Amino acid sequence: MKLFTACAMALAIAAPSAHAAPKKAAAKPAVTKEQEPSVAGQTATNYSCELGNKITIYSSADDGNSIVMRWKNRLTRLTREATTTGAQRFENKLAGLIWIGIPAKGMLLDSKVNRQLANECKTSDQALGL
């Protein structure tokens, strides 16, 4: 009986009371909007895509790990992601943008809704088959 009473008391101490104030939920971090990156001193490459879409990619010879993309009049920095296929893949997880470039073309994906935003994106040289 003493053992039963001791266990009951230990449980009563360890368990929260039904009358205890509920714990406050942790505050959600504020969603911050990224500041548009600077493209000063970077090389611009223009792409014409199907359906009349246009993309400009800004890159720097000093930084092969990121690009800045102009899409729908917004500048967004994307960071290189490793691939096993040799394709160039750059992503911005906050914006949900993924740029995939292969020698023949490029495509822009929206990872938040899992759809293509632009496809058959080609530079003037790619369009000519160079």
Tokens of 42: 């970077």
Provide mean pLDDT across the span 35-41.
83
pLDDT at 85: 93
58 contacts 68 by C-beta, under 8 angstroms? yes
The backbone torsions φ and ψ at residue 43, rounded to the nearest 5 degrees and listed phi first, read -85, 130
pLDDT, tens only, 93-108 = 999 999 999 999 999 9
Better-predicted residue by pLDDT, 22 or 109:
109
pLDDT at 11: 47
Is the Cα torsion angle 52, 53, 54, 57 positive or negative in sign?
Answer: negative
Counting residues of the chain whose pLDDT is more than 70, the rounded percentage is 74
Q: Give dist(CA 122, CA 45) in Å, integer.
A: 10
| pLDDT band of 26, cuts 50, 70, 90 | low
Cβ neighbours of residue 127 closer than 8 Å, sequence gap 6 or more: 48
| pLDDT band of 114, cuts 50, 70, 90 | very high
pLDDT at 23: 55
Tokens of 33: 């909007």
Provide mean pLDDT across the span 21-45.
70
Provide mean pLDDT across the span 71-94.
95
pTM: 0.71
pLDDT at 76: 96
